[in-house]
Chain A
Protein backbone atom coordinates (compact mmCIF):
# COMPACT_ATOMS: atom_id res chain seq x y z
CA UNK A 1 0.00 0.00 0.00
CA UNK A 2 2.69 2.45 1.01
CA UNK A 3 4.78 1.47 -2.04
CA UNK A 4 1.83 2.20 -4.32
CA UNK A 5 1.42 5.61 -2.73
CA UNK A 6 5.02 6.54 -3.18
CA UNK A 7 5.07 5.37 -6.80
CA UNK A 8 2.05 7.58 -7.44
CA UNK A 9 3.79 10.53 -5.96
CA UNK A 10 6.87 9.93 -8.04
CA UNK A 11 5.05 9.76 -11.36
CA UNK A 12 5.11 13.40 -12.31
CA UNK A 13 8.27 15.41 -12.44
CA UNK A 14 8.32 18.93 -11.21
CA UNK A 15 10.10 21.26 -13.50
CA UNK A 16 11.26 24.70 -12.48
CA UNK A 17 11.86 27.69 -14.58
CA UNK A 18 13.77 30.67 -13.27
CA UNK A 19 12.08 33.69 -14.69
CA UNK A 20 12.96 36.88 -12.82
CA UNK A 21 10.18 38.75 -14.59
CA UNK A 22 9.48 42.21 -13.27
CA UNK A 23 5.79 42.56 -12.50
CA UNK A 24 5.86 46.13 -13.68
CA UNK A 25 7.49 45.19 -16.99
CA UNK A 26 4.42 46.23 -19.00
CA UNK A 27 4.21 49.58 -17.21
CA UNK A 28 7.92 50.32 -17.58
CA UNK A 29 7.80 49.45 -21.29
CA UNK A 30 5.07 52.03 -21.90
CA UNK A 31 6.86 54.55 -19.63
CA UNK A 32 9.88 54.30 -21.93
CA UNK A 33 7.69 55.07 -24.96
CA UNK A 34 6.36 58.17 -23.17
CA UNK A 35 9.94 59.23 -22.33
CA UNK A 36 10.82 58.96 -26.02
CA UNK A 37 7.85 61.12 -27.03
CA UNK A 38 8.83 63.79 -24.50
CA UNK A 39 12.45 63.73 -25.64
CA UNK A 40 11.40 64.12 -29.29
CA UNK A 41 9.14 67.10 -28.51
CA UNK A 42 11.37 68.59 -25.82
CA UNK A 43 8.44 68.64 -23.41
CA UNK A 44 9.24 68.60 -19.70
CA UNK A 45 7.02 66.01 -17.97
CA UNK A 46 6.40 66.38 -14.24
CA UNK A 47 4.51 63.86 -12.10
CA UNK A 48 2.83 65.55 -9.13
CA UNK A 49 2.01 63.22 -6.26
CA UNK A 50 0.70 63.66 -2.71
CA UNK A 51 -2.05 62.67 -0.30
CA UNK A 52 -5.61 63.68 -1.13
CA UNK A 53 -6.28 67.31 -0.27
CA UNK A 54 -2.72 68.60 -0.02
CA UNK A 55 -3.20 71.30 -2.64
CA UNK A 56 -2.10 69.78 -5.97
CA UNK A 57 -4.88 71.37 -8.01
CA UNK A 58 -4.51 74.79 -6.35
CA UNK A 59 -0.79 74.61 -7.13
CA UNK A 60 -1.59 73.79 -10.77
CA UNK A 61 -3.90 76.82 -10.96
CA UNK A 62 -1.32 79.16 -9.43
CA UNK A 63 1.48 77.79 -11.62
CA UNK A 64 -0.70 78.23 -14.71
CA UNK A 65 -1.50 81.85 -13.80
CA UNK A 66 2.17 82.73 -13.43
CA UNK A 67 3.64 80.78 -16.32
CA UNK A 68 1.02 80.69 -19.05
CA UNK A 69 2.32 83.87 -20.71
CA UNK A 70 5.94 82.73 -20.53
CA UNK A 71 5.63 79.12 -21.67
CA UNK A 72 3.07 76.69 -23.05
CA UNK A 73 1.78 74.54 -20.23
CA UNK A 74 -0.78 71.71 -20.08
CA UNK A 75 -2.06 69.33 -17.42
CA UNK A 76 -3.54 65.85 -17.20
CA UNK A 77 -5.22 65.02 -13.95
CA UNK A 78 -6.15 61.65 -12.47
CA UNK A 79 -8.99 61.00 -10.07
CA UNK A 80 -11.19 58.05 -9.17
CA UNK A 81 -14.30 59.97 -10.23
CA UNK A 82 -15.52 63.41 -11.46
CA UNK A 83 -14.02 66.00 -13.78
CA UNK A 84 -13.87 68.71 -11.11
CA UNK A 85 -10.10 69.18 -11.05
CA UNK A 86 -9.74 69.49 -14.82
CA UNK A 87 -12.52 72.09 -14.86
CA UNK A 88 -10.75 74.10 -12.14
CA UNK A 89 -7.42 74.00 -14.00
CA UNK A 90 -9.02 74.96 -17.35
CA UNK A 91 -10.42 78.07 -15.64
CA UNK A 92 -6.79 79.21 -15.28
CA UNK A 93 -6.49 79.18 -19.06
CA UNK A 94 -4.47 76.04 -19.78
CA UNK A 95 -5.40 72.78 -21.45
CA UNK A 96 -6.40 70.13 -18.90
CA UNK A 97 -7.82 66.66 -19.42
CA UNK A 98 -9.27 64.47 -16.72
CA UNK A 99 -8.33 60.81 -16.49
CA UNK A 100 -11.07 59.07 -14.52
CA UNK A 101 -9.54 55.88 -13.17
CA UNK A 102 -12.87 54.42 -12.06
CA UNK A 103 -11.63 53.25 -8.69
CA UNK A 104 -7.98 52.57 -9.46
CA UNK A 105 -5.80 54.18 -6.81
CA UNK A 106 -2.96 55.35 -9.08
CA UNK A 107 -2.16 56.30 -12.68
CA UNK A 108 -0.32 53.80 -14.88
CA UNK A 109 1.84 54.58 -17.90
CA UNK A 110 -0.76 53.03 -20.22
CA UNK A 111 -3.38 55.58 -19.10
CA UNK A 112 -1.01 58.47 -19.85
CA UNK A 113 -0.07 57.01 -23.23
CA UNK A 114 -3.74 56.71 -24.16
CA UNK A 115 -4.46 60.43 -23.67
CA UNK A 116 -1.17 61.74 -25.15
CA UNK A 117 -2.62 62.08 -28.70
CA UNK A 118 -4.99 64.73 -27.29
CA UNK A 119 -2.00 67.00 -26.66
CA UNK A 120 -0.04 68.92 -29.26
CA UNK A 121 3.27 68.03 -27.63
CA UNK A 122 5.40 69.88 -30.18
CA UNK A 123 3.86 73.09 -28.83
CA UNK A 124 3.91 72.20 -25.13
CA UNK A 125 6.95 73.10 -23.00
CA UNK A 126 5.66 71.78 -19.70
CA UNK A 127 3.20 68.94 -19.13
CA UNK A 128 2.05 68.13 -15.61
CA UNK A 129 0.52 64.86 -14.54
CA UNK A 130 -1.51 65.47 -11.41
CA UNK A 131 -1.61 61.95 -9.96
CA UNK A 132 -4.36 60.39 -7.84
CA UNK A 133 -4.12 61.64 -4.24
CA UNK A 134 -2.34 58.73 -2.56
CA UNK A 135 1.17 58.40 -1.12
CA UNK A 136 1.31 54.60 -1.55
CA UNK A 137 0.55 53.07 -4.97
CA UNK A 138 1.56 55.94 -7.31
CA UNK A 139 5.12 55.56 -5.96
CA UNK A 140 5.54 52.25 -7.82
CA UNK A 141 4.47 53.39 -11.28
CA UNK A 142 6.93 55.20 -13.53
CA UNK A 143 4.93 57.42 -15.90
CA UNK A 144 7.94 58.42 -17.98
CA UNK A 145 8.33 61.69 -16.09
CA UNK A 146 11.50 63.80 -15.97
CA UNK A 147 10.88 64.72 -12.34
CA UNK A 148 8.60 63.55 -9.56
CA UNK A 149 7.38 66.26 -7.23
CA UNK A 150 5.61 65.37 -3.97
CA UNK A 151 3.49 67.81 -2.02
CA UNK A 152 3.57 67.42 1.74
CA UNK A 153 0.92 69.61 3.35
CA UNK A 154 1.48 71.06 6.80
CA UNK A 155 -2.00 69.79 7.72
CA UNK A 156 -0.90 66.19 7.17
CA UNK A 157 1.57 66.13 10.05
CA UNK A 158 5.37 66.16 9.88
CA UNK A 159 5.79 62.38 10.31
CA UNK A 160 4.78 61.30 6.80
CA UNK A 161 8.13 60.78 4.97
CA UNK A 162 9.04 57.76 7.10
CA UNK A 163 5.51 56.39 6.94
CA UNK A 164 5.47 56.44 3.14
CA UNK A 165 9.21 56.10 2.40
CA UNK A 166 9.01 54.91 -1.18
CA UNK A 167 7.22 58.03 -2.36
CA UNK A 168 9.88 60.30 -0.84
CA UNK A 169 12.70 58.02 -1.99
CA UNK A 170 11.51 58.24 -5.61
CA UNK A 171 10.78 61.98 -5.59
CA UNK A 172 13.14 64.72 -6.75
CA UNK A 173 11.38 67.60 -5.04
CA UNK A 174 9.24 67.94 -1.92
CA UNK A 175 6.97 70.95 -1.71
CA UNK A 176 5.94 71.65 1.89
CA UNK A 177 2.51 73.09 1.05
CA UNK A 178 -0.02 75.20 2.97
CA UNK A 179 2.82 76.98 4.75
CA UNK A 180 0.42 79.85 5.59
CA UNK A 181 -1.17 77.51 8.16
CA UNK A 182 2.11 76.89 10.03
CA UNK A 183 1.28 79.34 12.88
CA UNK A 184 -1.81 77.27 13.73
CA UNK A 185 -0.37 73.75 13.48
CA UNK A 186 2.02 71.60 15.54
CA UNK A 187 4.10 71.01 12.40
CA UNK A 188 7.88 71.29 12.28
CA UNK A 189 9.37 72.02 8.86
CA UNK A 190 12.82 71.06 10.22
CA UNK A 191 11.51 67.68 11.38
CA UNK A 192 9.83 66.87 8.07
CA UNK A 193 12.91 67.88 6.07
CA UNK A 194 15.20 65.87 8.36
CA UNK A 195 13.07 62.71 8.00
CA UNK A 196 12.61 63.17 4.26
CA UNK A 197 16.37 63.60 3.74
CA UNK A 198 17.15 60.51 5.81
CA UNK A 199 15.07 58.64 3.23
CA UNK A 200 16.42 60.59 0.25
CA UNK A 201 19.46 62.80 0.71
CA UNK A 202 19.10 64.25 -2.79
CA UNK A 203 15.56 65.54 -2.22
CA UNK A 204 15.13 69.26 -2.96
CA UNK A 205 12.70 71.18 -0.76
CA UNK A 206 10.65 74.36 -1.23
CA UNK A 207 8.15 75.69 1.30
CA UNK A 208 5.06 77.00 -0.48
CA UNK A 209 1.64 78.48 0.00
CA UNK A 210 -0.30 78.44 -3.25
CA UNK A 211 -3.00 80.61 -1.66
CA UNK A 212 -0.73 83.31 -0.21
CA UNK A 213 2.10 83.05 -2.72
CA UNK A 214 5.03 82.04 -0.49
CA UNK A 215 7.65 80.06 -2.41
CA UNK A 216 5.69 80.09 -5.68
CA UNK A 217 8.28 82.28 -7.43
CA UNK A 218 11.04 79.90 -6.37
CA UNK A 219 8.94 76.95 -7.61
CA UNK A 220 8.29 78.65 -10.97
CA UNK A 221 11.98 79.51 -11.34
CA UNK A 222 12.85 75.85 -10.70
CA UNK A 223 10.39 74.80 -13.42
CA UNK A 224 11.71 77.38 -15.91
CA UNK A 225 15.28 76.22 -15.29
CA UNK A 226 14.28 72.57 -15.88
CA UNK A 227 12.39 73.53 -19.06
CA UNK A 228 15.49 75.34 -20.32
CA UNK A 229 17.64 72.29 -19.55
CA UNK A 230 15.22 70.01 -21.40
CA UNK A 231 15.05 72.26 -24.44
CA UNK A 232 18.79 72.60 -24.75
CA UNK A 233 19.32 68.83 -24.38
Chain B
Protein backbone atom coordinates (compact mmCIF):
# COMPACT_ATOMS: atom_id res chain seq x y z
CA UNK B 1 0.00 0.00 0.00
CA UNK B 2 3.04 2.21 -0.28
CA UNK B 3 1.69 4.67 -2.83
CA UNK B 4 -1.19 5.87 -0.76
CA UNK B 5 0.38 6.38 2.63
CA UNK B 6 0.47 10.08 1.92
CA UNK B 7 -3.00 10.72 3.13
CA UNK B 8 -2.70 8.77 6.30
CA UNK B 9 -5.94 9.70 7.99
CA UNK B 10 -5.72 9.82 11.72
CA UNK B 11 -8.57 9.34 14.06
CA UNK B 12 -7.79 11.93 16.60
CA UNK B 13 -4.73 14.01 16.05
CA UNK B 14 -3.42 15.96 13.13
CA UNK B 15 -0.55 14.22 11.53
CA UNK B 16 2.71 15.84 12.38
CA UNK B 17 1.55 17.57 15.45
CA UNK B 18 1.72 15.04 18.19
CA UNK B 19 0.15 16.95 21.05
CA UNK B 20 2.86 18.49 23.12
CA UNK B 21 4.09 16.12 25.77
CA UNK B 22 3.58 16.96 29.40
CA UNK B 23 5.87 19.80 30.33
CA UNK B 24 9.39 18.83 31.18
CA UNK B 25 9.73 16.23 28.46
CA UNK B 26 10.54 18.07 25.30
CA UNK B 27 13.39 16.01 23.87
CA UNK B 28 13.16 14.47 20.44
CA UNK B 29 12.90 10.96 21.82
CA UNK B 30 10.14 11.93 24.20
CA UNK B 31 8.26 13.55 21.36
CA UNK B 32 8.51 10.40 19.29
CA UNK B 33 7.45 8.25 22.21
CA UNK B 34 4.49 10.48 22.83
CA UNK B 35 3.42 10.28 19.20
CA UNK B 36 3.88 6.53 19.22
CA UNK B 37 1.88 6.18 22.41
CA UNK B 38 -1.01 8.14 21.05
CA UNK B 39 -1.16 6.18 17.84
CA UNK B 40 -0.13 2.91 19.41
CA UNK B 41 -2.82 0.90 17.72
CA UNK B 42 -2.16 2.18 14.25
CA UNK B 43 1.60 2.08 14.50
CA UNK B 44 1.40 -1.23 16.32
CA UNK B 45 -0.49 -2.79 13.44
CA UNK B 46 1.78 -1.20 10.86
CA UNK B 47 4.75 -2.72 12.65
CA UNK B 48 2.93 -6.04 12.93
CA UNK B 49 2.20 -5.95 9.21
CA UNK B 50 5.87 -5.28 8.55
CA UNK B 51 6.91 -8.20 10.75
CA UNK B 52 4.46 -10.55 9.06
CA UNK B 53 5.75 -9.51 5.64
CA UNK B 54 9.37 -10.06 6.70
CA UNK B 55 8.51 -13.40 8.29
CA UNK B 56 6.84 -14.77 5.19
CA UNK B 57 9.42 -13.22 2.88
CA UNK B 58 12.05 -15.31 4.65
CA UNK B 59 9.83 -18.36 5.03
CA UNK B 60 8.91 -18.38 1.33
CA UNK B 61 12.49 -17.78 0.21
CA UNK B 62 11.59 -14.42 -1.23
CA UNK B 63 8.52 -15.48 -3.17
CA UNK B 64 6.19 -13.26 -1.18
CA UNK B 65 7.59 -10.01 -2.49
CA UNK B 66 8.21 -11.16 -6.05
CA UNK B 67 6.55 -8.69 -8.44
CA UNK B 68 3.94 -11.17 -9.67
CA UNK B 69 3.01 -12.18 -6.15
CA UNK B 70 2.70 -8.60 -4.93
CA UNK B 71 0.38 -7.89 -7.84
CA UNK B 72 -1.49 -11.04 -7.03
CA UNK B 73 -1.82 -9.99 -3.39
CA UNK B 74 -3.47 -6.76 -4.44
CA UNK B 75 -5.89 -8.55 -6.78
CA UNK B 76 -6.75 -11.27 -4.27
CA UNK B 77 -7.62 -8.90 -1.48
CA UNK B 78 -9.15 -6.04 -3.40
CA UNK B 79 -12.78 -6.86 -2.69
CA UNK B 80 -12.20 -7.48 1.01
CA UNK B 81 -10.37 -4.14 1.24
CA UNK B 82 -13.25 -2.37 -0.47
CA UNK B 83 -15.63 -3.90 2.05
CA UNK B 84 -13.31 -3.14 4.95
CA UNK B 85 -13.36 0.57 4.13
CA UNK B 86 -17.13 0.67 4.28
CA UNK B 87 -17.27 -1.60 7.30
CA UNK B 88 -14.86 0.61 9.20
CA UNK B 89 -17.16 3.58 8.68
CA UNK B 90 -20.18 1.55 9.78
CA UNK B 91 -18.35 0.45 12.92
CA UNK B 92 -17.13 3.97 13.68
CA UNK B 93 -20.76 5.08 13.54
CA UNK B 94 -21.50 2.48 16.21
CA UNK B 95 -23.14 -0.13 14.01
CA UNK B 96 -22.32 -3.38 12.26
CA UNK B 97 -23.22 -4.80 8.86
CA UNK B 98 -23.51 -8.56 8.48
CA UNK B 99 -25.12 -8.42 5.06
CA UNK B 100 -22.23 -7.24 2.90
CA UNK B 101 -21.15 -10.69 1.72
CA UNK B 102 -24.66 -11.60 0.63
CA UNK B 103 -25.22 -8.20 -0.90
CA UNK B 104 -21.98 -8.49 -2.88
CA UNK B 105 -23.16 -11.87 -4.16
CA UNK B 106 -26.58 -10.47 -4.99
CA UNK B 107 -25.15 -7.61 -7.02
CA UNK B 108 -22.70 -9.86 -8.84
CA UNK B 109 -25.56 -12.19 -9.70
CA UNK B 110 -27.70 -9.29 -10.88
CA UNK B 111 -24.88 -8.00 -13.08
CA UNK B 112 -24.34 -11.49 -14.47
CA UNK B 113 -28.00 -11.87 -15.35
CA UNK B 114 -28.09 -8.45 -16.96
CA UNK B 115 -24.99 -8.94 -19.09
CA UNK B 116 -25.22 -12.62 -19.97
CA UNK B 117 -28.95 -13.17 -20.29
CA UNK B 118 -30.12 -9.74 -21.41
CA UNK B 119 -27.06 -8.49 -23.26
CA UNK B 120 -27.08 -5.20 -21.42
CA UNK B 121 -23.87 -3.20 -22.09
CA UNK B 122 -21.37 -3.76 -19.30
CA UNK B 123 -21.05 -0.10 -18.35
CA UNK B 124 -24.79 0.12 -17.86
CA UNK B 125 -24.78 -3.13 -15.88
CA UNK B 126 -22.02 -1.73 -13.70
CA UNK B 127 -23.95 1.44 -12.96
CA UNK B 128 -27.15 -0.50 -12.32
CA UNK B 129 -25.26 -2.86 -10.02
CA UNK B 130 -23.98 0.03 -7.94
CA UNK B 131 -27.48 1.43 -7.90
CA UNK B 132 -28.85 -1.85 -6.60
CA UNK B 133 -26.26 -1.67 -3.83
CA UNK B 134 -27.34 1.86 -2.96
CA UNK B 135 -31.00 0.86 -2.84
CA UNK B 136 -30.24 -2.18 -0.70
CA UNK B 137 -28.16 0.01 1.63
CA UNK B 138 -30.98 2.54 1.77
CA UNK B 139 -33.42 -0.23 2.60
CA UNK B 140 -31.32 -1.33 5.56
CA UNK B 141 -30.46 2.22 6.53
CA UNK B 142 -34.14 3.07 6.64
CA UNK B 143 -34.93 0.38 9.18
CA UNK B 144 -31.87 1.16 11.25
CA UNK B 145 -31.92 4.97 11.21
CA UNK B 146 -35.58 5.88 10.94
CA UNK B 147 -37.36 2.91 12.52
CA UNK B 148 -34.71 2.20 15.12
CA UNK B 149 -34.16 -1.52 14.69
CA UNK B 150 -30.63 -2.51 15.79
CA UNK B 151 -28.25 -2.83 12.86
CA UNK B 152 -27.25 -6.32 13.94
CA UNK B 153 -30.83 -7.53 13.41
CA UNK B 154 -31.51 -5.59 10.22
CA UNK B 155 -28.34 -6.72 8.53
CA UNK B 156 -28.72 -10.28 9.78
CA UNK B 157 -32.08 -10.23 8.03
CA UNK B 158 -30.36 -8.68 5.01
CA UNK B 159 -27.75 -11.42 5.03
CA UNK B 160 -30.49 -14.02 4.59
CA UNK B 161 -32.53 -11.86 2.25
CA UNK B 162 -29.78 -11.08 -0.25
CA UNK B 163 -28.38 -14.59 -0.13
CA UNK B 164 -31.82 -15.92 -0.90
CA UNK B 165 -32.21 -13.37 -3.67
CA UNK B 166 -28.92 -14.49 -5.18
CA UNK B 167 -30.08 -18.08 -5.26
CA UNK B 168 -33.43 -17.11 -6.75
CA UNK B 169 -31.56 -15.27 -9.52
CA UNK B 170 -29.04 -17.97 -10.27
CA UNK B 171 -30.42 -21.25 -9.01
CA UNK B 172 -27.37 -23.44 -9.00
CA UNK B 173 -25.96 -22.03 -12.25
CA UNK B 174 -22.80 -20.06 -12.83
CA UNK B 175 -23.43 -17.28 -15.32
CA UNK B 176 -20.56 -16.19 -17.52
CA UNK B 177 -18.41 -15.25 -19.28
CA UNK B 178 -18.60 -11.48 -19.18
CA UNK B 179 -17.72 -8.85 -21.78
CA UNK B 180 -14.01 -8.08 -21.84
CA UNK B 181 -14.48 -4.54 -20.58
CA UNK B 182 -16.16 -5.81 -17.44
CA UNK B 183 -13.44 -8.37 -16.80
CA UNK B 184 -10.83 -5.63 -17.06
CA UNK B 185 -12.12 -4.13 -13.81
CA UNK B 186 -10.32 -6.90 -12.00
CA UNK B 187 -7.82 -8.21 -14.49
CA UNK B 188 -6.81 -5.05 -16.32
CA UNK B 189 -3.59 -3.09 -16.05
CA UNK B 190 -2.67 0.38 -17.09
CA UNK B 191 -1.64 0.44 -20.76
CA UNK B 192 1.97 0.21 -21.91
CA UNK B 193 3.22 3.46 -23.35
CA UNK B 194 6.46 5.06 -24.38
CA UNK B 195 9.82 3.49 -25.21
CA UNK B 196 10.55 -0.11 -24.34
CA UNK B 197 12.37 -0.16 -21.02
CA UNK B 198 12.45 -3.15 -18.74
CA UNK B 199 9.81 -1.45 -16.68
CA UNK B 200 6.21 -0.41 -17.08
CA UNK B 201 6.61 3.24 -18.01
CA UNK B 202 3.24 4.60 -16.95
CA UNK B 203 3.59 2.95 -13.55
CA UNK B 204 6.96 4.60 -13.06
CA UNK B 205 5.53 7.97 -13.99
CA UNK B 206 2.60 7.47 -11.69
CA UNK B 207 4.90 6.45 -8.86
CA UNK B 208 7.07 9.51 -9.34
CA UNK B 209 4.04 11.77 -9.49
CA UNK B 210 2.73 10.23 -6.33
CA UNK B 211 6.08 10.66 -4.62
CA UNK B 212 6.19 14.33 -5.57
CA UNK B 213 2.64 14.84 -4.40
CA UNK B 214 3.27 13.05 -1.09
CA UNK B 215 6.37 15.06 -0.31
CA UNK B 216 4.65 18.27 -1.33
CA UNK B 217 1.80 17.47 1.07
CA UNK B 218 4.17 16.67 3.89
CA UNK B 219 6.04 19.92 3.51
CA UNK B 220 2.90 21.98 3.07
CA UNK B 221 1.28 20.47 6.15
CA UNK B 222 4.37 21.12 8.17
CA UNK B 223 4.57 24.73 7.02
CA UNK B 224 0.92 25.33 7.79
CA UNK B 225 1.21 23.80 11.19
CA UNK B 226 4.20 25.97 11.94
CA UNK B 227 2.21 28.96 10.77
CA UNK B 228 -0.44 28.08 13.33
CA UNK B 229 2.18 27.61 16.03
CA UNK B 230 1.41 23.94 16.37
CA UNK B 231 3.94 21.42 17.51
CA UNK B 232 5.81 19.77 14.62
CA UNK B 233 8.36 17.00 14.40
CA UNK B 234 11.93 18.22 14.75
CA UNK B 235 13.56 18.90 11.41
CA UNK B 236 15.87 15.88 11.29
CA UNK B 237 13.10 13.50 12.28
CA UNK B 238 10.84 15.01 9.69
CA UNK B 239 13.48 14.40 7.04
CA UNK B 240 13.86 10.79 8.17
CA UNK B 241 10.14 10.38 7.83
CA UNK B 242 10.19 11.82 4.32
CA UNK B 243 13.04 9.54 3.26
CA UNK B 244 11.21 6.50 4.65
CA UNK B 245 8.09 7.54 2.82
CA UNK B 246 9.97 8.03 -0.42
CA UNK B 247 11.70 4.67 -0.08
CA UNK B 248 8.43 2.87 0.49
CA UNK B 249 6.74 4.53 -2.47
CA UNK B 250 9.69 3.89 -4.79
CA UNK B 251 10.11 0.26 -3.74
CA UNK B 252 6.45 -0.47 -4.30
CA UNK B 253 6.45 1.35 -7.64
CA UNK B 254 9.51 -0.55 -8.87
CA UNK B 255 8.02 -3.86 -7.81
CA UNK B 256 4.81 -3.24 -9.71
CA UNK B 257 6.59 -1.72 -12.68
CA UNK B 258 8.79 -4.74 -13.16
CA UNK B 259 5.74 -6.97 -13.62
CA UNK B 260 2.72 -5.77 -15.53
CA UNK B 261 2.27 -2.35 -14.00
CA UNK B 262 -0.50 -0.92 -11.92
CA UNK B 263 -3.66 -3.05 -11.86
CA UNK B 264 -6.88 -1.13 -12.44
CA UNK B 265 -8.15 -2.38 -9.08
CA UNK B 266 -5.24 -0.81 -7.27
CA UNK B 267 -6.11 2.58 -8.73
CA UNK B 268 -9.66 2.03 -7.58
CA UNK B 269 -8.51 1.11 -4.09
CA UNK B 270 -6.17 4.06 -3.91
CA UNK B 271 -8.98 6.38 -4.93
CA UNK B 272 -11.28 4.90 -2.28
CA UNK B 273 -8.64 5.10 0.44
CA UNK B 274 -7.70 8.68 -0.35
CA UNK B 275 -11.29 9.75 -0.89
CA UNK B 276 -12.81 8.14 2.17
CA UNK B 277 -9.77 8.90 4.29
CA UNK B 278 -10.16 12.55 3.42
CA UNK B 279 -13.92 12.55 4.01
CA UNK B 280 -13.66 10.83 7.37
CA UNK B 281 -10.87 13.06 8.54
CA UNK B 282 -11.70 16.41 7.07
CA UNK B 283 -15.30 16.57 5.98
CA UNK B 284 -18.05 17.75 8.26
CA UNK B 285 -20.04 14.61 7.58
CA UNK B 286 -17.08 12.42 8.55
CA UNK B 287 -16.72 14.27 11.81
CA UNK B 288 -20.40 13.72 12.46
CA UNK B 289 -19.94 9.97 11.99
CA UNK B 290 -17.25 9.95 14.69
CA UNK B 291 -19.41 12.05 17.00
CA UNK B 292 -22.38 9.74 16.55
CA UNK B 293 -20.33 6.69 17.39
CA UNK B 294 -18.66 8.38 20.34
CA UNK B 295 -21.84 9.62 22.00
CA UNK B 296 -25.02 9.51 19.99
CA UNK B 297 -27.12 11.45 22.49
CA UNK B 298 -24.60 14.26 22.77
CA UNK B 299 -24.16 14.41 19.00
CA UNK B 300 -27.89 14.65 18.51
CA UNK B 301 -28.20 17.45 21.05
CA UNK B 302 -25.35 19.23 19.28
CA UNK B 303 -27.40 19.41 16.12
CA UNK B 304 -25.94 16.44 14.27
CA UNK B 305 -28.62 15.01 11.99
CA UNK B 306 -28.19 11.57 13.48
CA UNK B 307 -30.77 9.75 11.42
CA UNK B 308 -29.63 11.10 8.11
CA UNK B 309 -25.96 10.42 8.84
CA UNK B 310 -26.71 6.84 9.90
CA UNK B 311 -28.82 6.35 6.80
CA UNK B 312 -26.04 7.64 4.55
CA UNK B 313 -23.47 5.41 6.22
CA UNK B 314 -25.52 2.38 5.24
CA UNK B 315 -26.21 3.62 1.73
CA UNK B 316 -22.46 4.04 1.36
CA UNK B 317 -21.85 0.54 2.70
CA UNK B 318 -24.37 -0.77 0.18
CA UNK B 319 -22.57 0.88 -2.73
CA UNK B 320 -19.20 -0.41 -1.57
CA UNK B 321 -20.61 -3.92 -1.09
CA UNK B 322 -21.94 -3.73 -4.65
CA UNK B 323 -18.54 -2.59 -5.86
CA UNK B 324 -16.89 -5.48 -4.04
CA UNK B 325 -19.36 -7.87 -5.65
CA UNK B 326 -18.60 -6.46 -9.09
CA UNK B 327 -14.84 -6.70 -8.57
CA UNK B 328 -15.25 -10.28 -7.36
CA UNK B 329 -17.45 -11.29 -10.29
CA UNK B 330 -15.07 -9.67 -12.75
CA UNK B 331 -12.15 -11.59 -11.26
CA UNK B 332 -14.08 -14.87 -11.41
CA UNK B 333 -15.55 -13.97 -14.81
CA UNK B 334 -18.83 -15.48 -13.65
CA UNK B 335 -21.72 -14.89 -11.29
CA UNK B 336 -21.93 -17.80 -8.87
CA UNK B 337 -24.50 -18.48 -6.12
CA UNK B 338 -21.92 -19.09 -3.41
CA UNK B 339 -20.03 -15.84 -4.02
CA UNK B 340 -19.21 -13.64 -1.08
CA UNK B 341 -19.64 -16.20 1.65
CA UNK B 342 -17.87 -15.03 4.85
CA UNK B 343 -16.83 -11.74 3.23
CA UNK B 344 -18.63 -9.83 5.98
CA UNK B 345 -16.61 -11.63 8.63
CA UNK B 346 -13.32 -10.93 6.86
CA UNK B 347 -14.26 -7.26 6.53
CA UNK B 348 -15.30 -7.00 10.18
CA UNK B 349 -12.09 -8.73 11.27
CA UNK B 350 -10.06 -6.34 9.12
CA UNK B 351 -11.75 -3.34 10.72
CA UNK B 352 -11.13 -4.56 14.25
CA UNK B 353 -7.54 -5.57 13.57
CA UNK B 354 -7.14 -2.12 12.05
CA UNK B 355 -8.18 -0.31 15.22
CA UNK B 356 -11.97 -0.11 15.32
CA UNK B 357 -13.73 -0.31 18.66
CA UNK B 358 -16.83 -2.35 19.41
CA UNK B 359 -18.50 0.67 20.96
CA UNK B 360 -17.87 2.94 17.98
CA UNK B 361 -16.32 6.38 17.63
CA UNK B 362 -12.79 5.11 16.97
CA UNK B 363 -10.91 3.96 13.90
CA UNK B 364 -9.56 5.17 10.57
CA UNK B 365 -10.00 4.13 6.96
CA UNK B 366 -6.26 3.67 6.74
CA UNK B 367 -6.49 1.30 9.69
CA UNK B 368 -9.07 -0.80 7.86
CA UNK B 369 -6.66 -1.19 4.96
CA UNK B 370 -3.84 -2.19 7.29
CA UNK B 371 -6.13 -4.71 8.99
CA UNK B 372 -7.21 -6.08 5.63
CA UNK B 373 -3.60 -6.37 4.49
CA UNK B 374 -2.59 -8.20 7.66
CA UNK B 375 -5.23 -10.79 6.89
CA UNK B 376 -4.37 -10.79 3.18
CA UNK B 377 -0.64 -11.30 3.67
CA UNK B 378 -1.37 -14.05 6.20
CA UNK B 379 -3.64 -15.79 3.70
CA UNK B 380 -1.22 -15.45 0.84
CA UNK B 381 1.88 -16.26 2.84
CA UNK B 382 0.40 -19.30 4.52
CA UNK B 383 -0.84 -20.63 1.19
CA UNK B 384 2.62 -20.17 -0.32
CA UNK B 385 4.29 -22.19 2.41
CA UNK B 386 1.61 -24.86 2.13
CA UNK B 387 -0.37 -24.41 5.31
CA UNK B 388 -3.85 -25.81 4.76
CA UNK B 389 -6.97 -23.67 4.99
CA UNK B 390 -7.90 -25.46 8.19
CA UNK B 391 -4.86 -24.16 10.04
CA UNK B 392 -5.11 -20.82 8.25
CA UNK B 393 -8.47 -20.22 9.91
CA UNK B 394 -7.09 -21.11 13.31
CA UNK B 395 -4.18 -18.72 12.90
CA UNK B 396 -6.34 -15.87 11.61
CA UNK B 397 -8.67 -16.31 14.55
CA UNK B 398 -5.76 -16.06 16.96
CA UNK B 399 -4.41 -12.99 15.18
CA UNK B 400 -7.75 -11.21 15.52
CA UNK B 401 -7.93 -12.09 19.19
CA UNK B 402 -4.35 -10.98 19.76
CA UNK B 403 -4.79 -7.67 17.96
CA UNK B 404 -7.90 -6.67 19.88
CA UNK B 405 -6.49 -8.13 23.10
CA UNK B 406 -3.41 -6.00 22.70
CA UNK B 407 -5.59 -2.95 22.22
CA UNK B 408 -7.65 -3.66 25.33
CA UNK B 409 -4.52 -4.23 27.36
CA UNK B 410 -2.89 -1.10 26.00
CA UNK B 411 -5.91 1.07 26.74
CA UNK B 412 -6.11 -0.22 30.29
CA UNK B 413 -2.42 0.45 30.80
CA UNK B 414 -2.61 3.99 29.48
CA UNK B 415 -6.09 4.90 30.58
CA UNK B 416 -6.77 3.61 34.08
The answer on A and B forming one complex is no
Chain A residues within CB distance 8 Å of chain B: none
